[in-house]
Amino acid sequence: MRFILALFLVGSAYGFEIVGPMVQFHEHAAHKATVTWLTQVGNNIPTFTTTNAQVRHTRNAEFGDLVYYITQVHLDELPTGKRCDFQLAVGDIKRAYSFRVPPMDQPDNISFVIGGDMGPGDQARSLLIEAKKLNPDFAVIGGDISYAHGNIGQAQPKVWVMWLNLWAETMTSEQGEITPLLVAIGNHEVDGGYRRSKEEAKYFYQLFHFPDNEAYYVADIGDYLSFIMLDTWHISHPKDQVEFLKGALIREKDVPYLIPVYHFPAYGILKGGYDAWQAKTIRKYWTPLFEDSQVRVIFENDHHIYKRSKPIYQDKVNKEKGIYYLGDGAWGRLRPLKKEQWESLWYVENAAPLLHFMHVVITKEKPLSVKVIDPQGTVYESIQIELKK
Q: pLDDT (tens digit, 0 to 9) for every residue of the chain, 389 residues total? A: 333 333 333 323 334 789 999 999 999 999 999 999 999 998 999 999 999 999 999 999 999 888 999 999 999 999 999 999 999 999 999 999 999 999 999 999 999 999 999 999 999 999 999 999 999 999 999 999 999 985 555 568 899 999 999 999 999 999 999 999 999 999 999 989 999 999 999 999 999 999 999 999 999 999 999 999 999 999 999 999 999 999 999 999 999 999 999 999 999 999 999 999 999 999 999 999 999 999 999 999 999 999 999 999 999 999 999 999 999 999 999 999 999 999 999 999 999 999 999 999 999 888 999 999 999 999 999 999 987 65
- The candidate with the shortest Cα–Cα distance to 304, out of 333, 264, 267, 283, is 333
**Does the model's pTM come out above 0.85?**
yes
Q: Where does the chain have alpha helices with state H?
A: 122-133, 158-170, 202-207, 242-251, 277-285, 287-292
Q: Where does 286-358 have alpha helices with state H?
A: 287-292
Which domains are seen in the chain, by residue range? 3-100 (2.60.40.380), 109-385 (3.60.21.10)
CA 246 remoteness from chain centre:
22
- The candidate with the shortest Cα–Cα distance to 186, out of 349, 33, 327, 345, is 327
